[in-house]
């Protein structure tokens, strides 16, 4: 069940909306697991598990980030569009503070952990693909969440997406002024244009990426967020038009159809010269998110289960920590010259997952959530102080 805390009021029909939609939280857990599985196969192939259909899906795990981006646009619109479409004084600065509270504490700790690992590896004589870009300048840029801006490189590899995601947050207050005023026909047209651009534009970029490797990497990062995040925002508008029917099941069918289409796109997309990203799956990712938001059906009961909603809650911390964990596991396997088979292979795969989930959960409970709460309290105190300054003395005295 969705949370009983009621925060938002829909601008269409005055419908009261719950704080979160649990199947969407479950999708976050699935997206994180997809990315982790891809990196597990990439960094620790000795313990990877695959198959004829599974391998293409796993190797397309980069698409899990695009799923995050689309989902982020939807959820940010669900939570903040009503508040920022006609913002009160201080609403925009509060939005930025709350977004920093959400992403920065875990980013800071994992970035510093990555810096320690890089330093220790350098002392041990290791070499790095981007070794010439671990400089004081890029250190500061990572601290400022600018690791997706040239000439920086993310010291904690998955954190490149945090930089682009924060840029989307910076743009959202401007989007919020426009989105609620779009007529339906224009909303649908823009959705189609963004989907077509994602399929055609990203395919063209991926096909030529090896010809301009330095700049194509940055171009790919920014093009993905520029397409996926607004898609999620528009998807929210489309969802908000659909009448609520608690007894329906077709939301679940949309999730299943979107999942099947995504798997088909992964299987049918050949490996790219630089990165494999089956962009033909974009419409199916949108279908799955829309179906999860509509709820209903067996698929959404699974996505909204306690296990998957918990996985969704810790997904951000898992996403930021898993790459470092896998680097350590891969180094240990290499030093032991271990190539496991049979039972040992399966056991080590399970142990790797247990460590990844354990470290991610610990980061969530010890860093991400306390950091978010502390910064949110600061934002609340600022709002209270601002309100006190606006309140006439006689009113504040109870006159």
What's the pLDDT score for residue 396? Answer: 45
d(CA 338, CA 85): 57
Confidence label for 393 from pLDDT (cuts 50, 70 and 90): low
What's the pLDDT score for residue 106? Answer: 98
Most confident region among 128-142, 228-242, 329-343 by mean pLDDT: 228-242
The pTM of the full predicted model, rounded to 2 decimals, is 0.92
Whole-angstrom Cα Rg for the chain: 22
What's the pLDDT score for residue 339? Answer: 78
Tell me: pLDDT of 6 over 60: no
Mean pLDDT for 231-235 is: 98
Q: Which of residues 173 and 122 earns the better pLDDT score?
A: 173
Q: What's the pLDDT tens digit per position in 265-302? A: 999 998 877 788 999 999 999 999 999 999 999 999 99
What's the pLDDT score for residue 88? Answer: 86
Mean pLDDT for 220-242 is: 97
What's the pLDDT score for residue 356? Answer: 98
Confidence label for 341 from pLDDT (cuts 50, 70 and 90): confident
Q: Which of residues 336 and 1 earns the better pLDDT score?
A: 336
Confidence label for 392 from pLDDT (cuts 50, 70 and 90): low
């Amino acid at each position: 069940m969705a949370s009983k805390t009621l925060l938002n009021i829909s601008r269409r029909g005055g419908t009261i909306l719950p704080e979160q939609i649990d199947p969407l939280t479950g999708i976050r857990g699935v997206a994180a697991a997809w990315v982790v599985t891809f990196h597990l196969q990439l960094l620790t192939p000795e313990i990877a598990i695959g198959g004829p259909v599974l391998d293409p899906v796993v190797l397309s795990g980069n698409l899990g980030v695009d799923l995050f981006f689309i989902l982020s646009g939807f959820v940010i619109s669900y939570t903040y569009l009503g508040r920022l479409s006609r913002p009160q004084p201080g609403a925009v600065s509060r939005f930025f503070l709350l977004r920093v509270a959400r992403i920065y504490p875990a980013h800071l700790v994992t970035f510093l952990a990555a810096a320690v690992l890089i330093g220790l590896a350098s002392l041990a004589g290791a070499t790095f693909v981007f070794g010439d870009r671990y400089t004081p300048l890029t250190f500061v840029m990572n601290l400022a969440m600018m690791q997706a801006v040239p000439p920086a490189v993310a010291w904690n590899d998955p954190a490149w997406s945090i930089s682009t995601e924060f840029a989307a947050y910076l743009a959202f207050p401007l989007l919020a002024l426009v989105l609620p005023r779009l007529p339906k026909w224009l909303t649908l047209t823009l959705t189609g244009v963004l989907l077509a651009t994602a399929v055609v534009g990203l395919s063209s970029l991926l096909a030529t990426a090896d010809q301009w490797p330095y700049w194509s990497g940055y171009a790919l990062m920014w093009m993905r967020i520029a397409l996926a995040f607004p898609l999620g925002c528009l998807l929210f508008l489309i969802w908000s038009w659909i009448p609520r029917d608690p007894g329906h099941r077709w939301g679940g069918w949309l999730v299943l159809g979107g999942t099947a289409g995504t798997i088909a796109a992964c299987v049918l997309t050949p490996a790219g010269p630089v990165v494999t990203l089956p962009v033909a799956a974009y419409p199916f990712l949108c279908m799955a998110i829309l179906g999860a938001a509509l709820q209903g059906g067996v698929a959404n009961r699974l996505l909204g289960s306690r296990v998957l909603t918990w996985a969704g809650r810790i997904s951000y911390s898992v996403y930021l920590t898993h790459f470092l964990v896998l680097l350590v596991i891969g180094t240990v396997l290499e030093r032991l010259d271990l190539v496991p088979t049979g039972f040992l292979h399966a056991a080590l795969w399970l142990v790797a997952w247990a460590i990844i989930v354990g470290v991610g959960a610990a980061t969530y409970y010890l860093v991400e959530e306390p950091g978010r709460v502390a910064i949110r309290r600061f934002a609340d105190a600022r709002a209270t102080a601002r309100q006190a300054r606006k309140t006439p003395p006689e009113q504040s005295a109870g006159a």
